[in-house]
Structure 1
Amino acid sequence: MNNVLSWVLIGLSMACVSVTTMAQSLVSHHVSDHRILLTLDDNSKVRVSFLGHNTVEVLYRADEKQLPSMALPAEVSVKPVKVGKAPEGTTFSYGRVTARVSESPFQLAFYFDNEHRLSEEKGFFHVDSLRGFRFALQPDEQLYGGGQRVLGMDRRGHKMPLYNRAHYGYTTESNQMYYSLPAVMSSENYAVVFDNSASGNLDIGHSEADVLQFDARAGRTAYLVTLGENLADVSRNLVSVTGKQPLPPRWALGNFASRFGYRNESQTRDVVKRYQDADIPLDGVVLDLYWFGKDVKGHMGNLSWDREAFPDPDGMMADFREQDVQTIVITEPFVLTTSSHFDSAVQADALAKSLDGEVKTFDFYFGNTGLVDVFSPAGRDWFKQYYTKLAEQGVAGWWGDLGEPEVHPGDTLHNVDGSLYTADAVHNAYGHRWAQMVYEHSLDIQPDKRPFVLMRSGFVGSQRFGMIPWTGDVSRSWGGLKPQVELALQMGVFGLAYTHSDLGGFAGGDEFDAELYQRWLQLGVFSPVFRPHAQEDIAPEPVYHDQQTVAQARDLIRLRYQMLPYNYALSIENSLTGMPMMRPLSFYHEGDAWFTNKDSYYWGENLLISPVTEAGVSEWMVDLPPGTWYHFYTDEIYTGGKPVSVPASLTQIPVMVKAGGVVPMLDAASTTAEADFSQMTMHVWAGEQGVEHQYHYYEDDGKRVDSLKDNAFMTGQVIHQRQSDSMRVQMLTTGGYDRMPTNRELEWVLHGLTQQPEDVMLSDKVAVSTDKNSAVYWDASSKTLHVNQRLQGHGEFTVHW
C-alpha cells in the first residue's frame, strides 16, 4: 500500500501546487543535440525542437517529470537549428519555419517563409491543478478542431470538453462524442496539437473571442505547431510528423455483414450465404459480443468462444476464408467479475487499480467490472494471449469497442512507465494505447498480414497504429445521417482518414425506412469503409429486406467494388503522403464558404460527393466549386462557382467529376480478392482546351505489409490534354510488385467529347467505328469514345477530329 501511494504521489505531483500566472522573462538559451533549451526567470525550462515537416514541438517545464508524448512516434528526428537575432528577440529556424522568442515578457511566435502565422497570447499557464496554453486568434480566422463533434465545420466560438465519451443516438448536435482531438487547424494555414491526454477543455474563442485556450487538470505540458502553404499542405505535414496510416488489407475496402449481433454459428453462416445467393459482393463478417456469451450482460471479458452457440468457430472461419470472406470479432477492455477470465486477469496483475492498491471494480451497463490496464506491461501481456489464440483460430481482424473507455472512474489508477496516473490524466489515450497494442502484437504474431484495427476512440496520431475509427452509435434517422460528412472531415484532416459511419444508422428507429437506408448506402460507396451496422431489431443487412432493397443495394455495392482501383489508390496515397481520402472543399478552394461547407466533400481529387440527407427529394442543391464539372452518371456538364440543382433520383446522389478527372474501374467481383486488375476501364473526362491534366494511380498486391516501404508498388501517371482538333492520352508507369499483371487489357472511355472523332492513332491509325466489337468505337447514345489497348508498361494514343 505504501508503495502504491508513493507512485500515486509521483503521478499526481504534476497536477498540484505550482502557480505560473505572472509574465516571465527569458534568462538564457542553449542548444544541445539540436534541441533548444530556454531558461526563464523562475528557473523553469522550455524545450523547443524542430521535427521536420514544418513542425515545432514546444515542451514547457522540460526539467520536470512528464508523461510520454502520445501524439508523436517514439522515435522522432530532431532537425538542426539556425540561431539568429531580430529586433523583437531571438529567432530559431529550420527550413521554412522560424520560431521567434520575445524575451520580456517571454512569448513564442511562429513564422512560415518569414510570414507570421501564430503567436502565444499568455502562452503557458499553471494554476493549482489547472495547466494549459493560450494563443492569440486573428479577427477573421476560422478553425477546424476538437475531433468528433456536430457543431459545424468552423469550430470558432465553441468550448468543447476534451474527454472521450459515448453519445448514444446523436443526431444534428453534439458537443462531446467518442473521439475528441485536442487540436485545431486554421484558415491561416497552421495547426496546433496540444499533446496532453488528460481530461480538459478546448476553447476556440468562446470565452474570449480572440483567444484559443487549452486547459487540463493533469498531463503533459507540450504542444506542436505545424505550418504549410495551404490547408492541404498543413494536413499532410501534421500527419507526416504524427505518423502516417499503414495500409490496411485491401479487403478492408469491401462490403461487411455486421450487426448487433449474430447470435450463433448457424445465423452467421446464413448471412454469408444470403449475400452470396443474392449475388452481392462480400469481404467480411463482423461478430459482436454474442460470440463469447449468449446474453448482452454478464459475459464481457470471457474472450473465448461460446461453444454452445459457436460449436466449430475454427471450421466456420476456415470455410469463410475459402470463400475469401474474413472474420472480425469484437473485443472490449472490460473484464466482468462474473466472467470466466476475471480471476486470471487479477492474478496476472492485468487490471487497473484503485487507491488502496487493489483491483478497481465498478458497475456499468454490462455488469460489475474491472478494466484492463493497457498502459502496463502486465495488462498488455495478459490481453495479448487472447488475441494470439483467436488469430490462430482464424480471426482476421479486430473490433475494439467501448475504448473511450465508456466508463472510467476518475480515481482509477494506471501504470504508465512505472508510475501511477489517475484515469483523468490518461483517459483520452486509452484507446490509443489499446490500438497500439493490438496493431503491434498482430504484426508480431502474423508478420506477413496487414492488421485490421476497428476502434472508436483514440488520440492524435492513433492512425499510425492502423486505427479505423467510426462515428459511434448514431441515430437511425435523417438527423443521424446529416452530420456524417462533417464528422469524417473533421477527423480526416488530422490523420484519421478511415473515419466512417454505421451505414443505415445504428440506434432506434420504429420501422425500416428504405429511402433513408438507400441514401446512407449511397454515401457509403464513396466512404473509406462500407459497413452497414445496427441494432438487430431492424436488420442492417440488405439481404433481410424486400427485393427492391436487395436490388438497389446490389447495384450500389457492385459500384463500390467497381470503384476498387480508384478507392484503393486513395488508400495508398494516404499512406504515402498523409492526404485524407475524404477531403474538405477548403483543400482546393480558398474562402469562408468553402471552409465551412459541411454538405459536400472531395473523394480523392477528382470526385465531388454531395450526399442527400433529406427525405422525398428528386433534386439536390450543390455548392459547386469553380470550374467545369460533369455528372458522374449522365455526363451532363455544369458550370461551377455557384449553387446548382442536380438530379437526385432514389438510386443516385450527386456525384460530380471535375473536368480533366480520371477514374479507374473494374468489373465488379464477388470479393476484393477476385478483382481482376489485368482488365481495367480507365474513365477520362475531357478537360479545358490546352490544359494538361494529370492523375496518379497506385497499385500493389493488397496484402504485403511493407509494400510501400519496400517500393513494391506501381505508380501510373495518366496525362491528357485536349486541343481544338485532337486529344492526347498517355499512361506512364513506374515500379511494380510480385505477380503484377504484365499485360493489361485497358478500355479507355473518354467522356465530354462533343463530336465523333475521325480516327485514333495507336501503334497506327485506326478509324473510329460505331461497332462495339471494334478496338475503337464511338457510342453515340452516351457520346463516349472507347479505345481498347493492351498496355505493357507505358501506353499512349491520340484522338483526332
Structure 2
Amino acid sequence: MKHYILIAFLLTITLGFSQNHNRTFQSIAYKNNVLKIKVNDGVYKITPFSEHIMETTFIPEGEVYNAQSHAVVLEPKPIQAKLLNVGESYQLRTEGITVNIQKQPFQIAYSYKGKPVISEKKGYVKNDSLETIQFNLTKDEVLYGGGARALGMNRRGHRLELYNRAHYGYETHSELMNYTMPIVMSSNTYMVHFDNAPIGFLDLDSNKDNTLTYETISGRKTYQVIVGDTWTNLIDNYTDLTGKQPLPPRWALGNFSSRFGYHSQKEVEATVQKFRDEQIPLDAIIIDIFWFGKDIQGHMGNLEFLKDSFPNPTQMIKNLKSDHVNTILVSEPFVLTTSKRWEEAVEKEVLATDSVGKPFTYDFYFGNTGLIDIYNPKGKTWFWDIYKGLADMGVTGIWGDLGEPEVHPSDLFHATGTADEVHNTYGHDWARLIAEGYKADFPNQRPFILMRAGYSGSQRFGMIPWSGDVNRTWGGLQSQPEIALQMGMQGLGYMHSDLGGFAGNLQDPELYTRWLQYGVFQPIYRPHAQEDVPAEPIFWDEHTKALAKKAIELRYKLLPYNYHLSFQNHKNGTPLMRPLFFEESDNQNLVDYSVTYLWGDDLLISPVLKAGQTSQEVYFPKGSNWFDFYTDAIFKGGITKTVALNTASIPTFVRGGAFLSMAKPMQSTAEYDATNLEVHYYFDAEVEQSDREMYNDNGVAPNTYKGDAYEIVKFESAFKNDILKLSLKTEVMTNYDSKTKNVELIVHNLQKQPRYLKINGKKVKINWDANLKTIVVPFDLDPTQPIEIKIKLKK
C-alpha cells in the first residue's frame, strides 16, 4: 500500500498542478472494462484498450455521450486491469499504462510502468468560443505532430491550427498545410490523439508555461494516451488503434509520369512512348484536369473524357496497360454550375446545401461551384458510380485533388453537420468512399488512392498523401524530409513530394536532379509540376536526363528492399522514412534533425538540399559501422563526418551486417522477377550476428498477408573465429506458390581472398574481386531447402 501511495504522490509532484479547482470528485466505479468517474460538472469515461492505450472521454453535464470516432477501429478488449483505492487517490492499473485519479484537488494523470507520462492540467473547460482540454508538460519535452507542417521537427512553442488548407508555393516555413492531424508526440515516447473531427487548434506550449492544449469548436471530448517502449513500438500501437495501411499495388513503387497536365490522348501516348524509347523505367501516367475539359476553368465536375481531346480513352488505357503503364485520373469533389453534370447533381440531390436545403453554390478559382456531399448516401453512391465506370474502363488509380476541401464555406451544410464539423475529415471520408467501393466491386484489386488531405487514421483506407503545391526552389526541397518524417510518425507512411517541385518556373537542372535523387528514397516516385518547366526527365537536356535515368534505375533495383518496407508498414505501421532519433532516442542533438534519415532498417540517406555543394556533413548513428553504397568506404557510427559530393548520386550508406535484396534491371515493375535476385551482404567483423527478411507476394491481390498468400526469405549471418556463416531459407505460406530462386550473393568488405568457401558443406570456387574486395556466390535457393554458406577468412 505504501508503494502505491508513493507512486500517486510522485505522479502529482512530477506532472504538475491540479486541474480545474471547481471540479470535485463524487464517485468512481469500474465495470465491464470501463471506469466511470462522476464529478460535479460531468462524467469521465475511461477505457483501457490495451496495456499501451488508454482512452478518456469527458461528458459535460447535460450532454449525451457520442461514441462515433472518425479514427478508431480497434475494439477495446477486457484486459488485466485493477481499480485500487490508494489513500486519497484511485489507480486503474494495467501491466503497462496506469491512470491515477486524485480526489482532492481533483487530478487525472497517466504513467507507464511506474514512470510518469502526462497529466491533465485544467482538463476540460468550455470557453466562450472554444472547448479545450489542457495538460501539463515537462519543461524538456520535444513535441512532434499536428500533421504536415514545415516548422522544424520540434514543434513545441507553436499554436497549430487544425484546418486543412492548401499553401500554394510554400518553401521552408509553413504553419498550415493540406493535411493537419490532432496528434501530439513527445520525445518521451508517448502520444496523445484527440479523437474529434471538428476544426480547432493544437497549442504546443505557445505561452511557454509547460502547457499542452487542444481547442475545438465542438464535438467529442475524447483523447487516447498511447505509450510505447520504442518509437516503432509506439507507432505500431497507434496504428493498431486507427488501422494499418494496406499494401499498395507493387507498381506504386515504380516511376510515375505526371504534370499539370496532359491535354490529349496523343500527348499521353507520345509521352509514354518517349519513356520507352529512352529506356527510362515507367509504371504509371497521371492525367490531370484536361481529361474532362480543354481549359483549367469552367469544366470541373464533368468527370468524363472529353472526346475532342481523348477520342478513344478505353483503347488508350488498354494500350497503356499492355505496355505495363497504369492510368491514374485526377478528380475533385466540386461540380461547377457550368459543368455537364450540374443538372444531374442537383436533380439527384448529391450536393451540400444551404440552411434551407438548396444546393450551396459559391465562387472559387475554377468557377461557380457546388460540393459533393459524401456524407449523404446519395452523394456517396453517385460519386462511386463514376469511379466504378472509370475502373471498368481500365483506370487503376484515383487522384483526389482539392480535398481539404480547398474552399469550404462555414455556412454550408452536409448531411451529418456543418462544414466546420466535417472539414478536416472530408478527405478522410472521401478516401473511405473509394476504399469501400473497391472492396465491394473490385475485391481482387489493391486500390491506388492519391490525396493531399485527410485526417488521423486515413492510412487504413490506403491513402497515399503528398505534400501539396511546394515551390520549385531549393527552399521547397529543404522542407520535404521533415514533412515526410513527421507524417510517417503519425501513421501516414507514404507522404511524399512532387519531385522537382510544383509551383513556379525555375528551371534549375541541379535542383531537379537532386530532388529526383532524393526521391529514390521517399515512398512514392512521382515527378509533377506546372507546365512551365518539364516534370518528366525525358524532356530535359541530355546530361540531366542521364542523371535522372540513373536515379530511376536505382529506384527499380531497390524494389525488393522497398517492397519489404511496405510490408513492415502494413504489418507494424513502421514508417518507410525514419528519423535518426529512432536509433538514438537519448541523443539531444537528433531531436530536431531531419537532413539525414533512415530509409528502412539499413539505408542511411543524406539528400543534397543546397545548391552548389561539394561536400556536406553526415551524422552516422552509433551502434553500427556504415558502408558507402557506391564505394564501400567504411564510416564509424556515432560521429559526424564531412563527405564529398558528386553529381551522380546523393550520400547513401548501408548498415554493417545488412542483407540488401536487389532486383535485376527492368522497364516496369511488371517485369520484376523475384526468382532472380541480387543479395548484398555487408560484412562487418564487429557484427557477430544479424538477421533480415524479404517479403514477397503477387503484388496485386489485397490481403495477401492475412490470407497466407506470401513468402518470406530469411537471411542470417554469424561471425566467429574467422568463420563467416550465411544462411538463407524461404518461409512459404499455405496459399503461395513459391519458386526456386536464382540468387547472386555479393559479400562486401572482404579485404583478403578467403581460404575456402562452402555451400551446404561442399567447397566451391571462390570468385573474389581484389579491387572491389567482394566475392560473388551464385546458387539456387529451393523453397524447401535452406542454403548455408561458410566462408573461412584470412587473418
How would you bin the TM-score normalised by the shorter chain? over 0.9
Equivalent residue for 1:790? 780
Determine if the alignment matches structure 1 residue 351 to structure 2 residue 348: no
Equivalent residue for 1:656? 653
Match of 2:541 among 543, 546, 564: 546
Residues 300 and 80 of structure 1, relative CA distance in 2, 3 Å threshold: farther
Instruction: Structure 1: give runs of 5+ residues left out of the alignment.
Output: 1-19, 770-776
Measured against aligned partners, the alpha-carbon deviations of 1:689-718 in whole angstroms (never above 9, x if no partner) come to 362111122111111211011122212221
Measured against aligned partners, the alpha-carbon deviations of 1:71-128 in whole angstroms (never above 9, x if no partner) come to 2128554646322222451111333111111223332211111221111111111123
Deviates more, 1:328-337 or 1:621-630: 621-630
Equivalent residue for 1:12? none
Q: Aligned runs of 1:194-233 on 2, under 5 Å?
A: 194-233=194-233
Contact 1:701–1:738 under 8 Å retained in 2:
no
Determine if the alignment matches structure 1 residue 48 to structure 2 residue 43: no
Q: Aligned runs of 1:2-13 on 2, under 5 Å?
A: none
Residues 398 and 53 of structure 1, relative CA distance in 2, 3 Å threshold: farther
Deviates more, 1:233-242 or 1:397-406: 233-242
Q: Aligned runs of 1:722-737 on 2, under 5 Å?
A: 722-736=719-733
Q: Aligned runs of 1:442-461 on 2, under 5 Å?
A: 442-461=438-457
Deviates more, 1:401-410 or 1:748-757: 748-757
C-alpha distance in 1 between matches for 2:316 and 2:682:
46
Amino acid at match of 2:690: H
Per the TM alignment, residue 53 of structure 1 is displaced from its structure 2 partner at its CA by: 6.4
Q: Aligned runs of 1:308-347 on 2, under 5 Å?
A: 308-347=308-347
Name the SS for the 2:156 alignment partner: coil
Per the TM alignment, residue 355 of structure 1 is displaced from its structure 2 partner at its CA by: 1.8
Residues 55 and 644 of structure 1, relative CA distance in 2, 3 Å threshold: same
Match of 1:589 among 542, 563, 584: 584
Name the SS for the 1:61 alignment partner: strand
Equivalent residue for 2:5? none
Name the SS for the 2:172 alignment partner: coil
C-alpha distance in 1 between matches for 2:584 and 2:648:
29
Amino acid at match of 1:705: P
Equivalent residue for 1:575? 570
Equivalent residue for 2:34? 35
Equivalent residue for 1:95? 95
Residues 636 and 390 of structure 1, relative CA distance in 2, 3 Å threshold: same
C-alpha distance in 2 between matches for 1:277 and 1:87:
79
Measured against aligned partners, the alpha-carbon deviations of 1:619-646 in whole angstroms (never above 9, x if no partner) come to 1211221131110111001112121112
Contact 2:205–2:211 under 8 Å retained in 1:
yes
C-alpha distance in 2 between matches for 1:245 and 1:370:
32
C-alpha distance in 2 between matches for 1:75 and 1:307:
49
Contact 1:123–1:134 under 8 Å retained in 2:
yes
C-alpha distance in 2 between matches for 1:496 and 1:784:
38
Equivalent residue for 1:26? 25
Equivalent residue for 2:791? 799
Per the TM alignment, residue 740 of structure 1 is displaced from its structure 2 partner at its CA by: 4.2
Determine if the alignment matches structure 1 residue 431 to structure 2 residue 430: no
Measured against aligned partners, the alpha-carbon deviations of 1:555-585 in whole angstroms (never above 9, x if no partner) come to 1111111100000000011101111111111
Name the SS for the 2:575 alignment partner: coil
Determine if the alignment matches structure 1 residue 712 to structure 2 residue 709: yes
Contact 2:710–2:736 under 8 Å retained in 1:
no
C-alpha distance in 1 between matches for 2:581 and 2:659:
21
- Pairs aligned (count): 769
C-alpha distance in 1 between matches for 2:366 and 2:105:
54
Determine if the alignment matches structure 1 residue 513 to structure 2 residue 508: yes
Contact 1:35–1:78 under 8 Å retained in 2:
no
C-alpha distance in 1 between matches for 2:642 and 2:299:
52
Deviates more, 1:461-470 or 1:737-746: 737-746
Equivalent residue for 1:744? 741
Measured against aligned partners, the alpha-carbon deviations of 1:424-446 in whole angstroms (never above 9, x if no partner) come to 12211110011100111122111
Q: Aligned runs of 1:456-475 on 2, under 5 Å?
A: 456-475=452-471
Measured against aligned partners, the alpha-carbon deviations of 1:144-179 in whole angstroms (never above 9, x if no partner) come to 111111111111111111111000000011111110
Amino acid at match of 2:368: N
Per the TM alignment, residue 376 of structure 1 is displaced from its structure 2 partner at its CA by: 2.0
Determine if the alignment matches structure 1 residue 612 to structure 2 residue 608: yes
Residues 415 and 31 of structure 1, relative CA distance in 2, 3 Å threshold: farther
Per the TM alignment, residue 277 of structure 1 is displaced from its structure 2 partner at its CA by: 0.5
Amino acid at match of 1:644: K
Match of 2:771 among 770, 773, 781: 781
Name the SS for the 2:591 alignment partner: helix
Residues 351 and 65 of structure 1, relative CA distance in 2, 3 Å threshold: farther
Per the TM alignment, residue 48 of structure 1 is displaced from its structure 2 partner at its CA by: 1.0
Contact 2:197–2:421 under 8 Å retained in 1:
yes
Contact 1:53–1:241 under 8 Å retained in 2:
no
Match of 2:751 among 749, 754, 761: 754
Contact 1:30–1:38 under 8 Å retained in 2:
yes
Name the SS for the 1:223 alignment partner: strand
Per the TM alignment, residue 734 of structure 1 is displaced from its structure 2 partner at its CA by: 1.6
Amino acid at match of 1:798: K
Measured against aligned partners, the alpha-carbon deviations of 1:319-371 in whole angstroms (never above 9, x if no partner) come to 11111111000110011111111111112221111123211111100001111
C-alpha distance in 1 between matches for 2:300 and 2:123:
45
Q: Aligned runs of 1:685-724 on 2, under 5 Å?
A: 685-689=682-686, 691-724=688-721
Residues 82 and 499 of structure 1, relative CA distance in 2, 3 Å threshold: same
Contact 2:107–2:120 under 8 Å retained in 1:
yes
Q: Percent identity?
A: 41
Residues 356 and 593 of structure 1, relative CA distance in 2, 3 Å threshold: same
C-alpha distance in 1 between matches for 2:789 and 2:463:
42
Q: Aligned runs of 1:237-636 on 2, under 5 Å?
A: 237-416=237-416, 421-510=417-506, 512-590=507-585, 591-626=587-622, 627-636=624-633
Amino acid at match of 2:54: V
Equivalent residue for 1:174? 174
Contact 2:51–2:94 under 8 Å retained in 1:
no
Residues 81 and 352 of structure 1, relative CA distance in 2, 3 Å threshold: farther
Contact 1:219–1:426 under 8 Å retained in 2:
no
C-alpha distance in 2 between matches for 1:534 and 1:410:
31
Contact 2:21–2:105 under 8 Å retained in 1:
no
Measured against aligned partners, the alpha-carbon deviations of 1:10-66 in whole angstroms (never above 9, x if no partner) come to xxxxxxxxxx96531221223343222222112x22211112261111111175153
Residues 88 and 716 of structure 1, relative CA distance in 2, 3 Å threshold: farther
Name the SS for the 1:757 alignment partner: coil
- Taking structure 2 as the reference length, the TM-score comes to 0.94
C-alpha distance in 2 between matches for 1:134 and 1:339:
47
Name the SS for the 1:573 alignment partner: helix
Instruction: Structure 2: give runs of 5+ residues left out of the alignment.
Output: 1-18
Contact 1:477–1:509 under 8 Å retained in 2:
no
C-alpha distance in 1 between matches for 2:687 and 2:298:
68
Determine if the alignment matches structure 1 residue 156 to structure 2 residue 165: no
Name the SS for the 1:670 alignment partner: coil
Equivalent residue for 1:675? 672
Per the TM alignment, residue 395 of structure 1 is displaced from its structure 2 partner at its CA by: 0.7
Measured against aligned partners, the alpha-carbon deviations of 1:499-552 in whole angstroms (never above 9, x if no partner) come to 000000000023x21111110111111111000000011110011122222221
C-alpha distance in 2 between matches for 1:88 and 1:282:
67
Name the SS for the 1:463 alignment partner: helix
Contact 2:620–2:639 under 8 Å retained in 1:
yes
